[in-house]
Amino acid sequence: MILGIRLSRWPAGETCLQHSDVELLDLVPVRKSNGTVVYQQLEHVVAQTGVPREILSDHGSDLKVGTEQFCQRHPETCAVYDIKHKTASVLKRELADDATWREFSHLAGQTKQCLQQTALASWAPPTQKVKARDLNVAPLVAWGQRLLTCFDQPESDWPTPEPDHVHEKLDWVKRFRPALAEWAELFAVSTATESVVRHLGLTAETPAMLAQRLQPLVHTERGQRIRQELLTFVTTQAALVRPTERLVGSSEVIESVLGKLKRIEQDQATDGFTGLVLSLGAIVSQATDAVIQKALETVSTQDVWT
């Protein structure tokens, strides 16, 4: 799937892309995807739209190779790495060798199994993802901090069940108090970076705006290191921008469109996408009366089956 937007149509100001801002440029079912396949798809779209100013992706191996090949042939096009995947990779690398984080997430998993279907179920930590483990950081840290807040309150203010029962099962979280504060700082830095790029895009002013937003969030050496890495990354990406130009830096609209498709398919998507994949065109369209009437008049049932 290739979505596109005319940069001139992207609303000015701090606005992130909406489904209605993008168009479905190509939708091609393939049995396998590699750099050659991606390159061919991009060239096919160019025949309809002209050479794009930028190509934004999550740098999956096939997308990265195909995009690099395309940019070599069309030097006026720049390749941009999605900010969400960049921050996720930074967090993943930062926590991969963190023995304290591994212990915390392991204990949280054990606690989840012990507390579910008991009177303490509402106090249980969130379910952890097996894939995309970096997505576990935010909910686990938030759960740990909420729990510490409850521990810091007078016991008379506690909701049921009895505080003694909660302490018996969850007191282990207290020894992670300093680590939870540090992890929360790392997540705050990455989230703020995503927000700035998502709303402002990539412009000559973006690095300075980001530095200003991140400054009050950093209090530790570790946080400073992550701040500097993400700021350097955004500065490098912003260097691709021409004067007065604004490029897209977040591909989350693609993830959102696919998420909406999966919601439409519901259980039908268990074994993969179905014929409802054609609804992607409708998801990103502005469904006015005129658009719907034109679609009904110009697209036959046979076209759909074909």
> pLDDT digits over 203-235, tens only?
999 999 999 999 999 999 999 999 999 999 999
State which residues of the chain have pLDDT below 50: none
Amino acid residing at 39: Y
In this structure, are residues 124 and 139 in contact, taking their beta carbons and an 8 Å threshold? Answer: no
Bridge partner list, 56: 80
Cα separation, 109 vs 125, in Å, equals 8
Q: What are phi and psi of 245, to 5 degrees?
A: -95, 155
CA angle 75, 76, 78 (to 5 degrees): 85
pTM of the model as a whole: 0.85
How confident is the model at residue 132, as a pLDDT? 66
Question: 10-38 pLDDT, tens per residue?
Answer: 877 778 888 988 999 999 888 899 999 99
